[in-house]
């Protein structure tokens, strides 16, 4: 029997956009966030959450400093036009070791770079030269900051000696060293009048400095290593953050992942918000941008400090994923984290759900898609509900009766009546849902498991890896590490049968949505489909080691083992219209069934190819070379294009005709022709045709126009060596021909003398 092949195309791809670095930069208009992602620099648009540009570094080393200028471990500084994704300038950093810190002044004309060799260099990015070379720091200069008052011309720096140096840029000398910290200073914040400085460090204190007296006014113990500090503007009302009075208040973020607001006069913490590691101000919109310990970007609206936007920068290992929403508009994802992430597929916007205190292992969604359950290593499970109008998800119930990590959860299929959880304590529990369910926004209620004697049962001595409920809510199947699966009756929790046959643990079990069969997948790489009525094996298939879950509309790859159903026959998948692929490479994509669309497009493409081939033959026969050359380029046929050019050159006025023909082409066609010339020029048989085309293009196009073509620099670099080789060959031929002419002339002279 022929097997019908389904084709899927990715219509939504969600991936990491920054890793390994908590430092970010925000554009002056507060519309973009610049962040590193390995050897790339990503430009993230705040309003849409999309990566607009991704700038690749030429060096293999990671980018270590950001903004419009990047510094790499190759000791190079690059200035970027990031909207065009072009490097506009490249120069050596002069530092003997990599650059550790970098900052612009408020005019964006002076750039300061701090190196690991203890030197600081200032660059005029407009006139493109180094203005200062400051040397007196000891060790790595990990912090540089300009004074916001331009008239002062002062630069502040910090290195591993724990001191904060103040540099006078007029004299290039260090005028003072502020000593108060016992560890490296990590951030600086200036008051609006420029008279007060607040410094934070990893020594768990913040120092308030009087810049006129160059002395510390107050030391504020914060009891954590602080990575970022921001001074609150005195012109706004921050009473909702506990700010009372007109004194200086500042915000810190550090090792405990806590956002704190401090009163500098009393050294007292007046407000606390959890889970933050890095902090940047957005004064134009009165917001704060923060980075969590799990590489999530959170934007808070002041003064209430409400979360306005959330971006996931790093997913880690993806453990489970499910569609969510009325029309599968969202995806809920469980990563190697205690937080759940809900992505809206249309915009890629994310909502981070807090509640679990340890890694979430499994999730399952009720039939209508507005509620789902999650379980985690914290021995608990939670019930979540989505507001279909706003899309916000809130926890409405929770349960914690297991004595070990809960590894799997399954929701009832017919109606929202109960859910089942399987734990590493070798038990399965049935939980009744609260009736009525609390409204979204209310405190979650406590769920209770049914009586242990009737509804909690032991599953031997191995972990429960997977569970699934039959579509009529009467049967439960569970898979375990003991290499077997069991079938239970949910009415009295009696064991109906055992499915054996795998040589390793069973990672996934699934009921067919239309047939009375059960599929189970094992770590041994095999899938076995069993008939429920007589517990006989219907089909055995060996496949890759992935775990696949499916429903009527979805087909999910999640890792380890695999369960695939072929309802009605063993060769046809049951009406899959969407596919979600997960990878342990920290990203996932949503795919759509495009089998019919792809077949129709392929057929239309073939028909168009046949028509264009016929049109090309007719044009060549009628000697309409301009149209023929355009059709050959559109068909991406370099050999046919070469044939057209040779036909033109063989005419009486071949050079003039070739010139007229090429000048009538569009810019994209000229660009393709330039790409073809690179290939033609490598062969001595076609090099003359390539050189004729190049002569026309270089004669009638300005260098600026040619450089606008894609990959022009690469094409020109490839043309130069072969052109030089052809030139040398022609020179040798010319020299040889001149020698023959010389010999002929000598022979004529000698013959005349003899006569």
SS (H, E, C) 625-678: HHHHHHHHHHCCCHHHHHHHHHHHHCCCCHHHHHHHHHHCCCHHHHHHHHHHHH
Q: Which domains does the chain have, with CATH numbers?
A: 186-314 (2.130.10.10), 355-596 (2.130.10.10), 597-737 (no CATH)
Residue 25 CA from chain centroid, whole number: 17
pLDDT over 60 at 590, yes or no: no
Helix (H) or strand (E) segment spanning residue 385: strand 381-386
Helix (H) or strand (E) segment spanning residue 732: helix 712-754
**646-657 residue pLDDT tens:** 888 888 777 888
For 200-211, what is the mean pLDDT? 91
Report the C-alpha gap between 317 and 334 in whole angstroms. Answer: 9
Tokens of 516: 């009375």
Q: Who has greater pLDDT, 278 or 531?
A: 531
Report the C-alpha gap between 731 and 727 in whole angstroms. Answer: 6
Report the C-alpha gap between 719 and 198 in whole angstroms. Answer: 58
Q: Who has greater pLDDT, 302 or 453?
A: 302
For 20-39, what is the mean pLDDT? 72
Residue 9 binned pLDDT confidence (cut-offs 50, 70, 90): low
In sequence order, the 6+-apart residues with CB closer than 8 A to the CB of 735 are: none
**344-363 residue pLDDT tens:** 877 777 888 888 988 899 99
Tokens of 690: 């390539």
pLDDT over 70 at 271, yes or no: yes
pLDDT over 50 at 575, yes or no: no
Tokens of 694: 């190049």
**73-127 residue pLDDT tens:** 777 777 777 666 677 777 777 777 888 888 888 888 888 898 888 889 898 888 8
**458-490 residue pLDDT tens:** 555 677 888 899 988 889 998 888 888 899 888
Q: What are phi and psi of 74, to 5 degrees?
A: -80, 10
pLDDT of residue 439: 74
* Whole-structure pTM value: 0.52
Reference 637, options 654, 623, 659, 620; nearest CA is 620
DSSP 8-state symbol, 504: S
CB 590 within 8 A of CB 578: yes
Residue 543 binned pLDDT confidence (cut-offs 50, 70, 90): low
Tokens of 257: 């992942």
pLDDT over 80 at 7, yes or no: no
**41-88 residue pLDDT tens:** 788 787 777 777 777 654 433 444 444 677 777 777 777 776 666 777
Q: Who has greater pLDDT, 566 or 539?
A: 539
Lowest mean pLDDT among 13-17, 291-295, 570-574: 570-574
For 437-446, what is the mean pLDDT? 78
How many residues does this entry show for the chain? Answer: 755
**277-327 residue pLDDT tens:** 677 888 888 888 888 767 778 888 887 777 777 887 777 788 888 888 888
Q: Who has greater pLDDT, 94 or 569?
A: 94
3-state secondary structure of 297: strand
Tokens of 422: 């399987």
pLDDT of residue 128: 79
**383-422 residue pLDDT tens:** 999 887 878 888 999 988 788 889 899 999 888 888 999 8
Residue 154 binned pLDDT confidence (cut-offs 50, 70, 90): very high
Helix (H) or strand (E) segment spanning residue 735: helix 712-754
Q: Is the dihedral of CA 132, 136, 137, 138 positive or negative?
A: positive
CB 352 within 8 A of CB 339: yes
DSSP 8-state symbol, 183: S
**175-191 residue pLDDT tens:** 999 998 888 888 999 98
CB 206 within 8 A of CB 199: yes
Tokens of 77: 């500084």
pLDDT of residue 59: 40
Tokens of 659: 């010139």
pLDDT over 60 at 132, yes or no: yes
pLDDT of residue 259: 80
pLDDT of residue 373: 93
In sequence order, the 6+-apart residues with CB closer than 8 A to the CB of 363 are: 320, 321, 322, 332, 334, 340, 372, 373, 374, 375, 409
pLDDT over 90 at 4, yes or no: no
Mean pLDDT, the chain, rounded, equals: 78
Q: In what order do the strands lie in the sheet with 485-489?
A: 464-469, 475-480, 485-489, 495-499
CB 639 within 8 A of CB 680: no
């Amino acid at each position: 029997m022929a097997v019908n092949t389904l084709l899927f195309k990715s219509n939504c791809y969600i991936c990491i956009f920054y890793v390994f670095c908590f430092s970010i930069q925000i554009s002056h208009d507060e519309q973009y966030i610049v962040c590193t992602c390995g050897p790339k620099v990503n430009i993230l648009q705040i309003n849409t959450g999309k990566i607009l540009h991704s700038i690749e570094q030429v060096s293999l080393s990671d980018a270590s400093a950001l903004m419009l200028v990047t510094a790499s471990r190759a000791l190079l500084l690059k200035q970027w036009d990031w909207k065009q994704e072009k490097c506009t300038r490249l120069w050596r950093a002069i530092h003997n070791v990599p650059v550790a810190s970098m900052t612009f002044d408020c005019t964006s004309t002076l750039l300061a770079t701090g190196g690991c060799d203890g030197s600081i260099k200032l660059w005029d990015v407009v006139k493109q030269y180094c203005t200062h070379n400051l040397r007196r720091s000891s060790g790595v200069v990990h912090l540089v900051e300009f004074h916001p008052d331009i008239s002062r011309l002062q630069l502040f720096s910090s290195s591993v000696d724990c001191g904060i140096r103040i540099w006078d840029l007029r004299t290039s000398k260090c005028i003072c060293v502020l000593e108060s910290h016992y560890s490296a200073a990590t951030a600086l914040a200036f008051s609006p009048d420029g008279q007060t400085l607040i410094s934070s460090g990893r020594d768990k204190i913040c120092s308030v400095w009087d810049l006129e007296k160059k002395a510390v006014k107050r030391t504020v113990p914060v009891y954590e290593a602080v990575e970022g500090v921001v001074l609150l503007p005195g012109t706004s009302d921050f009473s909702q953050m506990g700010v009372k009075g007109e004194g200086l208040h500042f915000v810190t973020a550090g090792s405990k992942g806590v956002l704190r607001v401090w009163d500098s006069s009393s050294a007292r913490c007046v407000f606390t918000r959890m889970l933050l590691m890095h902090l940047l101000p957005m004064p134009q919109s009165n917001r704060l941008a923060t980075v969590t310990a799990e590489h999530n970007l959170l934007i808070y609206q002041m003064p209430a400090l409400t979360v306005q936007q959330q971006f996931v920068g790093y997913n880690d290992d993806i453990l489970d994923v499910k569609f969510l929403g009325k029309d599968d508009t969202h995806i809920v994802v469980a990563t190697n984290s205690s937080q759940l992430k809900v992505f809206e597929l249309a915009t890629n916007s994310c909502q981070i759900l807090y509640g679990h205190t340890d890694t979430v292992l499994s999730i399952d969604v009720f039939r209508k898609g507005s509620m789902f359950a999650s379980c985690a290593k914290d021995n608990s499970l939670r019930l979540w509900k989505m507001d279909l109008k706003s899309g916000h998800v809130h926890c409405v119930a929770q349960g914690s009766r297991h004595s070990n990590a809960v590894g799997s959860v399954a929701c009832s299929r017919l109606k929202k009546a109960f859910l089942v959880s399987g734990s590493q304590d070798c038990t399965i529990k049935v939980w009744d849902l609260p009736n009525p369910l609390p409204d979204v926004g209310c405190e979650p209620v406590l769920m209770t498991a049914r009586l242990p004697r009737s509804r909690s049962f032991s599953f031997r001595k191995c972990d429960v890896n997977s569970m699934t409920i039959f579509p009529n809510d009467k049967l439960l199947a569970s898979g375990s590490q003991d290499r077997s699966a069991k079938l239970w009756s949910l009415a009295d929790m009696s064991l109906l049968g055992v499915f054996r046959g795998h040589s390793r643990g069973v990672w996934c079990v699934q009921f067919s949505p239309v047939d009375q069969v059960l599929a189970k997948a094992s770590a041994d790489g095999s899938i076995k489909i069993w008939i429920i009525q007589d517990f006989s094996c219907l089909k055995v298939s060996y496949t890759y080691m992935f775990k696949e879950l499916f429903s009527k509309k979805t087909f999910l790859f999640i890792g380890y083992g695999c369960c695939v159903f072929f309802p009605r026959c063993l060769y046809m998948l049951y009406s899959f219209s969407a596919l979600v692929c997960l990878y342990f490479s920290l990203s996932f994509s949503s795919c759509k069934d495009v089998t019919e669309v792809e077949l129709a497009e392929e057929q239309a493409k073939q028909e168009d190819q046949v028509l264009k081939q016929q049109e090309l033959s007719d044009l060549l026969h009628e000697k309409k070379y301009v149209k023929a050359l355009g059709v050959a380029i559109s068909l991406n046929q370099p050999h046919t294009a070469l044939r057209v050019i040779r036909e033109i050159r063989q005419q009486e006025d071949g050079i003039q005709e070739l010139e007229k023909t090429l000048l009538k082409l569009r810019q994209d066609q000229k660009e393709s022709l330039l790409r073809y010339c690179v290939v033609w020029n490598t062969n001595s048989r076609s090099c003359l045709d390539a050189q004729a085309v190049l002569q026309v293009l270089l004669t009638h196009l300005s260098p600026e126009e040619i450089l606008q073509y894609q990959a022009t620099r690469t094409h020109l670099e490839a043309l130069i060596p072969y052109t030089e080789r052809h030139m040398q060959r022609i020179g040798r031929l010319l020299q040889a021909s001149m020698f023959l002419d010389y010999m002929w002339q000598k022979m004529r002279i000698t013959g005349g003398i003899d006569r």
